[in-house]
Structure 1
Amino acid sequence: MNFHEYIPIDDLICSCSDGPITRNFEDVILMQSTCLKDKNGVEIYEGDIVELADDFAVVKFDSGAFVIDYQNLDTEFELIYSIEVPIEAIGNIYEDHELLEVTK
Structure 2
Amino acid sequence: MNFTDAVKTCLRQYATFTGRASRPEFWWFMLFVLLLSMAASLIGPRVNALVTLLLLLPSIAVAARRLHDIDKSGWWQLVSLVPLVGWLVTLYWYVQPSQPSGNRFG
TM-score (norm 2): 0.23
Q: Which has the higher contact order (CA 8 A, sep 6+)?
A: 2
More strand by share: 1
- When Rg is computed on C-alpha atoms for both structures, the one with the higher figure is 1
